[in-house]
Structure 1
Amino acid sequence: MTHPGWGDKWAGAPQFTAQPARRSGSELLERAPELPDGAPARPPRRREPFWNGRRRRALRIVLWAAVVALLLLAVTVGWAAVDALRARAALSDAAAGVTALREDVLAGDTDGLEARLSGIQEDARRAHDATRGPHWSVARELPGTGPTAEAIATMSEVVDELARGALPDLARSAELVDPGTFAPRDGRIDLEPLRKVAPDVVRADRSVELAAERVGRLDGAMLPQVTAAVAELRAQIDGLRSTTATAARAADVLPPLLGAEGPRDYLVLVQNPAEPRALGGIAGTVLLLRAVDGTVTLADQLPGGTLGPYDEPVLPLTPDERSVLGAGGEVGRWMQNVTMTPDFPRTAELARTMWMRETGQRVDGVLTTDPVTLAALLRGTGPVEIAEGRRVAPDELADYLLHDVYFEHEEPRAQDMIFAHVAKQAFDRLSDPREGGEADMIAALAESARQGRLLVWSSDDAVNRRLAGTVLDGSLTGVRGDSPVVGVFTQGINMAKIAYYLDTEVDVAVVAERRDGSRELDVTVTYTSRVPEGGAGVMPEYFVGYGEKNPGEIRLRSLVYAPAGGWVAGAYSGDQEIGLTPKKQGEFSVASRDIELSPGATVSVTYAMITGKRQSGDIILRVTPGPRPADITISDDLLGRAE
């Protein structure tokens, strides 16, 4: 019997019955039919083994499966490629929005931030959605397309996370960090908005830092377009990080600096770059500021020349400091000379000790500024009163304080009185700036800091750690991250203000890369005298220097510091090699050369320098800020490679 569901095919199938008894081989032979005489015996029919047929069928299945897999793979890669184009377009739109958002935040323009942020979030969401799905999981694992797919997907994830996290935090911060919000009013800065914004900016900075780490890990053989996109996103994130890091540091350090945790006293060294020192110029005027819960007052001020000289340095000097900065220990014996060292924390320690010796007061920090910064801060505030009936526009103030005052008043005491009068006016105006001028003031401070004219040191190590690596730091460091730091500093030898006419130009060129990861640099330092021919004869002796053999000649010492782990290998001027006496200041290799400039003359020296190992980052250059900004060029174009 059969089951009805088996169909007709099975209808005639025999029933299983008992098998007959087996016959022997001889019996079977007896029953076989006989063949005609002479006919060949018919070989038995060979049947193909069952397993061989199965193998051919299996092979056909495998081949078809491979064809299907290849087709699916091609479809997957093509699908991912189409999505990649969509993601790239969305990422490009988001990047443009991030740039605009950052510019608005820096400018304090908060009106359109919400709409701009919404657009960035939509672009980031499109990019993120385009790089999701099983086809992307496959594409990210393939040997050929894996690095490219991984990069596109990671970039989409990073931008989407920033759009949903760090950027909203930054936008909320911008609403509170309007320059007008933190402008002093009647000498007081309201710290409460800063306390409110601190969690947002710190969280935003951490998010951007993590994003930078993720994008920084992208590597492998990617398509050129994707490689370029990764580099662009890294640059975008680096720019964003500079904003969030600055905001996070400000939120962290400003309240304690401004006396939120108790009164704080600070020395302000007002440098005079017409008489150069490594950090800028002699400390011509010293101010004492007191900060209490955001209220800042001018507590005292003294001419720098009244603090010292002392018979011995106020702090022990190292043999290296005496060798590089002067065997007589000048850096530690006059307040005017504490800026001879390019290491600002050392300057701060010396100045703080001198003030303590003179007044018995221990200050909580030291800052620097100069007339160029004061003039920039006062721009747009109206003329500054110099004396009764004598007023100077802010745009002319720096030139007046660095040059004209010495021609109008030859007595140092009269000059000091004018400096003090101007400092008081500047402080009063900055304590209560004009309405709408806050953004200009912030921009002036930022530019001064970038030029090295504004430095900050605190007796609180936690504050110094937050300032480390910023333009406000001023520490003598030969490397930041993987970036080599080159120092080019100027010390005036004349006891005069003739260096008002000194221009400085520095050109740094990478000429070779070495196998150990170090680089060969040519650092060309050019000094030019702008002293007019024959003009020195009509200049006051105080300005050109007492007892100068060649009045109008600028005499200076050029100090060039190699990066950490590197050294100065030699120097030449034109085609002529110059002998150098190697010196060290701590761990740093230093080249020192005295230069004399007659009126209108130019002297150029090129220093051959080797950086430390594994310093592949962008070159950082520190230069002494003069009466005018130095002309700086940094080139990474290789002219040759070491064998």
Structure 2
Amino acid sequence: MTHPGWGEKWMGAQALPTPRAPARTPSPVPGRTGTARTGPPFWTRRRRRALRVVLLGVVTVLLAVVFLLTWVALDAVRARGALDRAARDVATLQADAVAGRTDRLDVTVADLQRHAAHARDATSGANWSLAGRLPGVGPTVEAVATMATVVDRLARGPLPRLAEVMEVADPATLAPRDGRVDLGPLRQVAPDVRSADEAVGYALRTVTGIGDEPLLPQVSVAARDLRDRLADLRMSTATASRAAQLIPPMLGADGPRDYLVLVQNNAEPRALGGIVGTVLVLHADEGRIELTDQRPGAQVGSFDRPVVELTRDEQRVLGGNDLGRWMQNVTATPDFPRAAEVAREMWRRETGQTVDGVLSTDPVALAGLLDGVDTGPGGVLRGDELVSYLLNGVYRTQTPQEQNEIFADVAERAFTALSTGGSDPAGMVGSLAASARDGRLSVWSSEPAEADLLEGTVLDGALRGVTADRPVVGVFTQGIQMAKIAYYVDTAVDVVERGSRPDGSRELAVTVTYTSRVDAGEVADLPDYVVGADETRPGEVRLRALVYAPAGGRIVAASDKSGDVGLSPQKHDELWLSFHDFSLNAGETSSITYVIITGKQQDGGVILRTTPGPRPVVTSVENDAPGE
């Protein structure tokens, strides 16, 4: 019996379950079987969680990279500024060292050390180590760090000693006193000079190698600037190093030395300058220099046979056996070491004396050493006026015997000025350096180690067709008449690069121009010694131009204003050359343009060697290669 208000507890021992609505079964979907999912499976949810973790990690890494690159960029700005200032310090250091401003070197070195330290500190953190491993930016980061390290090592290493070294090497310090050079200080600093040069050379090679990787433009510019500054400094340290190693032994520090000096006469041209007009002998012992002999070049020889065995090239190109029979003609070869070898043997056969080396110079170089020479009625002459007198005036007013006496007097005066230091040692050294650059001063030593140190410098005067990656073009002049009429000739050589070739060679146009300054109205007043005793056309100048192609190159064409001219290809020491004869009437100009192909992969600037004349050769080298 029940009652509606009693509830379930009054329903007996077990309550009946309350009926529930049946579960809804979804309508089947065509093509599907089974029941529908009420949510994503567990593996999908796990994948989404993993994706969120990965994305979070990527964002974190990107933020870290951005932070790292920002940090590196800020340091790079600091380093770049410090490196710019350090590069300027290197340039100042080199300029002051060359100019002899040794009192300023310590200050410049201190500035360089400070700027280099700033660059080093800005590029030495952990951020740089990490950034260097990143693709794309790694080479740029490493380049900046490398430049900072290179400059810092130089600043803390050999360069602080450069001030002391340059003070010892100062021309005023090295200037002879009472005919003697004090070699002690130079020998003492020689190891430091060599160490400094090696360090600068290593730094230059390191910075040059930076350009092998793609860099940001700003860093590429900084690397090129630093490389150029180091290259200039290397020129100074290399010169100082060679000087420190050469000067003491060559001036007799390790035993007496004797040197043959060839004084050339540019009024009668030969490839190296002119015929040998005067021969001197210098004796050096412990820095003391003495003039022990002098005589006209014509008084050495002639010899019935060449004093050395001449090559077929030399006989064919330089005029038979003349090179080896007359002292006046040893300068016909454009290779000074060969000329020195022949002259040394001629002197040995003539006098019995074997010299230790050979030097060559000319009146232009000698005039640069002299304050002036009293020529009697002509008064005191100096500079260009003295050169004009020695190469021309003396032949118009003096007898051959008087000419020899004047040449001997001027040579002795120049030696005296050189051996005593003169009133301006720095100016004298500068004049000698300029003469060497113009090919008017050459030096050869019979000692192999010293010859190796001279090789490749402006003093060696060797015939070569390439230097490093730079093609060398030679344009040499020979006089082909016994006369001093070539004093009136001006020479110009223009080199224009026309472009590169597929094999890596380059095409050059080399124009050689000779101009006669002979005044037709004055020819009748010129003595036979000037115009030539056997000349049928007085005032005519006859010359031979020897044009040498670079190593591995060749001359393919030649033309003048009338059109193509024939080539006469020859080989000399593995270099192709062609020669042409010029005949110039009074006031006439004549020129020939040669088309020359260089050797392969000679990418550097063209080096032009010419015969130094009574006046400077006018030269120009124009680079028209695409992209350069």
TM-score higher than 0.5: yes
2:231 is the counterpart of 1:242? no
Deviations 1:81-134 (A, max 9, x none): 222222222111112222111111111111122112111111111122222222
Structure 2 letter corresponding to 1:432: T
Query: Cα distance, 1:412 vs. partner?
Result: 1.5
Contact in 2 for aligned 1:506/1:523 (Cα 8 Å) = yes
- Indicate the residue corresponding to 1:290 in structure 2: 283
TM-score for both structures, normalised by structure 2: 0.92
Deviations 1:314-367 (A, max 9, x none): 11111111111113x111111000000001111011101110111011111000
Contact in 2 for aligned 1:170/1:244 (Cα 8 Å) = no
Query: Aligned to 1:453, which of 428, 433, 440?
Result: 440
Structure 1 letter corresponding to 2:361: T
Distance 2:447 2:614 in 1: 32
Q: Once structures 1 and 2 are overlaid, which stretch shifts more, 79-88 or 384-393?
A: 384-393
2:609 is the counterpart of 1:609? no
Distance 1:38 1:560 in 2: 110
2:197 is the counterpart of 1:205? yes
Distance 2:284 2:143 in 1: 50
Cα pair distance change 1:37/1:470, threshold 3 Å: closer
Unaligned runs of 5+ in 2: 1-16, 27-33
Query: Aligned to 1:405, which of 361, 386, 394?
Result: 394
Distance 1:531 1:168 in 2: 57
Structure 2 letter corresponding to 1:324: V
Deviations 1:272-320 (A, max 9, x none): 1111100000010000001111111001001001112222211111111
2:624 is the counterpart of 1:637? yes
Cα pair distance change 1:364/1:388, threshold 3 Å: farther
Cα pair distance change 1:589/1:361, threshold 3 Å: same
Cα pair distance change 1:51/1:338, threshold 3 Å: same
Query: Cα distance, 1:394 vs. partner?
Result: 4.7
Structure 2 letter corresponding to 1:291: A
- Indicate the residue corresponding to 1:7 in structure 2: none
- Indicate the residue corresponding to 2:101 in structure 1: 109
Distance 2:323 2:21 in 1: 132
- Indicate the residue corresponding to 1:60 in structure 2: 52
- Indicate the residue corresponding to 1:414 in structure 2: 402
Structure 2 letter corresponding to 1:299: T
Contact in 1 for aligned 2:500/2:626 (Cα 8 Å) = no
Query: Cα distance, 1:269 vs. partner?
Result: 0.2
Query: Cα distance, 1:639 vs. partner?
Result: 6.6
What are the within-5 Å matches in structure 2 for residues 365-404 of structure 1? 365-378=357-370, 381=371, 383-386=372-375, 391-394=380-383, 396-404=385-393
SS at match of 1:377: coil
Distance 2:591 2:170 in 1: 45
Contact in 1 for aligned 2:90/2:230 (Cα 8 Å) = no
Query: Cα distance, 1:48 vs. partner?
Result: 5.7
2:219 is the counterpart of 1:255? no
2:552 is the counterpart of 1:565? yes
Cα pair distance change 1:35/1:454, threshold 3 Å: same
SS at match of 1:516: coil
Query: Cα distance, 1:47 vs. partner?
Result: 7.7
Deviations 1:191-241 (A, max 9, x none): 001111111110110001111111111122222222222221111111011
- Indicate the residue corresponding to 1:142 in structure 2: 134
- Indicate the residue corresponding to 1:423 in structure 2: 411
Query: Aligned to 1:471, which of 458, 461, 474?
Result: 458
Distance 1:363 1:585 in 2: 27
SS at match of 2:273: coil
Contact in 2 for aligned 1:520/1:611 (Cα 8 Å) = yes
SS at match of 1:138: helix
Contact in 2 for aligned 1:387/1:418 (Cα 8 Å) = no
2:295 is the counterpart of 1:302? yes
Distance 2:23 2:384 in 1: 132
Distance 2:578 2:144 in 1: 48
2:427 is the counterpart of 1:440? yes
Distance 2:59 2:514 in 1: 74
Distance 2:24 2:543 in 1: 126
Contact in 1 for aligned 2:395/2:530 (Cα 8 Å) = yes
Query: Aligned to 1:501, which of 488, 501, 504?
Result: 488
Deviations 1:45-92 (A, max 9, x none): 878654543332221111011111111211222222222222222111
Contact in 2 for aligned 1:510/1:639 (Cα 8 Å) = no
Q: Once structures 1 and 2 are overlaid, which stretch shifts more, 93-102 or 385-394?
A: 385-394
| Alignment length (residue pairs) | 604
- Indicate the residue corresponding to 1:20 in structure 2: none
Deviations 1:233-289 (A, max 9, x none): 111111011000000001111111111111111000000111110000001000000
Query: Cα distance, 1:393 vs. partner?
Result: 3.3
Query: Cα distance, 1:482 vs. partner?
Result: 1.1
Contact in 1 for aligned 2:499/2:624 (Cα 8 Å) = no
What are the within-5 Å matches in structure 2 for residues 479-494 of structure 1? 479-494=466-481
Query: Cα distance, 1:395 vs. partner?
Result: 5.0
State, as a whole percentage, how many aligned pairs show the same letter.
55
Structure 2 letter corresponding to 1:154: T
Cα pair distance change 1:44/1:142, threshold 3 Å: closer
Distance 1:475 1:33 in 2: 121
Q: CA RMSD in A?
A: 2.2
Cα pair distance change 1:35/1:477, threshold 3 Å: same
Contact in 2 for aligned 1:511/1:640 (Cα 8 Å) = no
- Indicate the residue corresponding to 2:507 in structure 1: 520
Query: Cα distance, 1:627 vs. partner?
Result: 0.7
Cα pair distance change 1:33/1:201, threshold 3 Å: farther
Structure 2 letter corresponding to 1:115: V
Query: Aligned to 2:214, which of 221, 224, 230?
Result: 221
- Indicate the residue corresponding to 1:158 in structure 2: 150
Distance 1:386 1:426 in 2: 15
Distance 2:439 2:152 in 1: 37
Cα pair distance change 1:34/1:475, threshold 3 Å: farther
Cα pair distance change 1:128/1:574, threshold 3 Å: farther
- Indicate the residue corresponding to 1:27 in structure 2: none
Contact in 2 for aligned 1:179/1:439 (Cα 8 Å) = yes
Q: Once structures 1 and 2 are overlaid, which stretch shifts more, 123-132 or 62-71?
A: 123-132
Cα pair distance change 1:390/1:48, threshold 3 Å: closer
Structure 2 letter corresponding to 1:81: A
Distance 2:296 2:167 in 1: 42
Structure 2 letter corresponding to 1:445: L
Deviations 1:599-636 (A, max 9, x none): 11111111111111111112111110111111111111
Structure 2 letter corresponding to 1:207: A
Cα pair distance change 1:40/1:402, threshold 3 Å: closer
- Indicate the residue corresponding to 1:131 in structure 2: 123
Structure 1 letter corresponding to 2:296: P
Query: Aligned to 2:168, which of 169, 176, 191?
Result: 176
Distance 2:487 2:129 in 1: 65
Distance 1:188 1:80 in 2: 58
Contact in 2 for aligned 1:331/1:337 (Cα 8 Å) = yes
Distance 2:261 2:215 in 1: 53
SS at match of 1:126: helix
SS at match of 2:229: helix
SS at match of 1:180: helix
TM-score for both structures, normalised by structure 1: 0.90
Structure 1 letter corresponding to 2:390: L
Q: Once structures 1 and 2 are overlaid, which stretch shifts more, 165-174 or 294-303?
A: 165-174
SS at match of 1:534: helix
